[in-house]
Structure 1
């Protein structure tokens, strides 16, 4: 009776395997192949690179799809007994990328390519903006846009866009690049300005005429309207400059 029971268990296991109800590698006690190991660790590594990039860019929301191209020769490799070594990332973690993967314990290494499709929730212009326009909150909206490897200098936080002047045309619903913007001109040649002079012990202000145009922090010449003296001052707001001691 005992031998019949053992035979019955063996027969049941055979049936389950033939029906696909148990994994074929059940005899391997959970071991994975080198190909599966490469796939898992490469995917995790790229996902970590993306998360780090997202944090550095202060992006609130992204979506990603990672597609690996693993050489067929990996089927002949032995599973690595330790964590795989994956080379440090270079450039952006999306688009078409390649990483060198090595297994020290088994003495093999290879290159794995990946295609990473990434979309990010970023600020874009809701209309075309032309040169010298000042970007306001009314000009912006947020959209989930697909990014490419050429999107290296895009601006992903509106605090770096608002109040800036357009240097190069910004197209509607397109990523805004750092090269699209300039600090706005606060003072133009011939403007009447308020000159402010201050220290820890006193404050004074007077009027003057700007002899140069300037953005915030630029050194410009200003003629004091009272004394006629020409001084160096620095724009701090529209129509206001300060002297520095």
Structure 2
């Protein structure tokens, strides 16, 4: 009996190293979160990511190589993403990890109500930290992204500026010297003026007559040209 017991102990000691330990589900969740923070964050941004719990019944074999992670289809980052964690060996397992994401960075927010056709200047917007992962329509981080374009629709104060809110480029900007045209009984009269508003062709703006100082209503006709309204 003593010899049999010794043999069993010996066999057990040989078998233990051959039995691969299971991969922890918590490790898989940590890999998904770490990969997101390393590969999907932005310079200067602050990311908060929390992986949801995985099915406790899931059992994963030990992975002899370092597991890899990816966003299937290279999808853009959103408030909820599914990160694929894969054991990169023949027959290796793949687990999709649901992760809730918040990504805080500076975006442009309107400082006052703006109307359709308005240009956007430094006095119209300010920077605020917002969770951009929850902004499904994107955002604008700096004025140079506007690049002379006007608004496609009116905006309330406190609105995060998005690319879809922008129309075409401005034909006239605030402070531009413009040619004011008015047609009286078939005769076109021209005078120099200064634009007090901004917008593309068809946008109604205020202009100041450079000679008299009188402020008039006008419609943008083209680059540097406005038609004075009667």
TM-score range, shorter chain: 0.5 to 0.7
Q: For 2:64, which of 81, 84, 108 is the aligned residue?
A: 81
Aligned partners of 2:62, 2:125: CA distance in 1, in Å?
51
| Aligned alpha-carbon RMSD (Å) | 3.3
- Unmatched 5+ residue regions in structure 1? 1-30, 56-60, 194-206, 208-212, 216-234, 240-245
Verify the 8 A CA contact 2:137 2:164 in the aligned structure 1: no
User: CA deviation digits over 1:112-160, x for unaligned, max 9?
Assistant: 1000022221111111211121211111111011234443432222212
**Residue 181 to residue 146, structure 1, CA distance change in 2 (3 Å):** same
Q: Which residue of 2 aligns with 1:178?
A: 163
Q: What is the count of residue pairs matched by the alignment?
A: 162
Q: CA deviation at 1:96?
A: 0.7
Q: TM-score, normalised by structure 1?
A: 0.55
User: CA deviation digits over 1:167-224, x for unaligned, max 9?
Assistant: 112232222111212211249xxx569xxxxxxxxxxxxx9xxxxx859xxxxxxxxx
Aligned partners of 2:35, 2:78: CA distance in 1, in Å?
12
**Residue 94 to residue 179, structure 1, CA distance change in 2 (3 Å):** closer
Verify the 8 A CA contact 1:68 1:114 in the aligned structure 2: yes
User: CA deviation digits over 1:71-111, x for unaligned, max 9?
Assistant: 13476323322121323453332301112222134622221
Q: CA deviation at 1:33?
A: 4.4
Structure 1 SS opposite 2:40: helix
Aligned partners of 1:125, 1:139: CA distance in 2, in Å?
6
- Unmatched 5+ residue regions in structure 2? 1-20, 174-178, 182-189, 191-199, 203-221, 226-230
Mapping for residues 79-228 of structure 1, pairs under 5 Å: 79-89=62-72, 90-105=74-89, 107-161=92-146, 163-182=148-167, 183-186=169-172
Verify the 8 A CA contact 1:84 1:101 in the aligned structure 2: yes
Aligned partners of 1:127, 1:136: CA distance in 2, in Å?
11
Verify the 8 A CA contact 2:31 2:85 in the aligned structure 1: no
| Structure 1 residue runs of 4 or more that deviate by more than 6 Å after TM superposition | none
Aligned partners of 2:57, 2:144: CA distance in 1, in Å?
47
Q: TM-score, normalised by structure 2?
A: 0.58
Q: Which residue of 2 aligns with 1:49?
A: 39
Verify the 8 A CA contact 1:97 1:116 in the aligned structure 2: yes
**Residue 81 to residue 139, structure 1, CA distance change in 2 (3 Å):** same
Aligned partners of 2:117, 2:88: CA distance in 1, in Å?
57
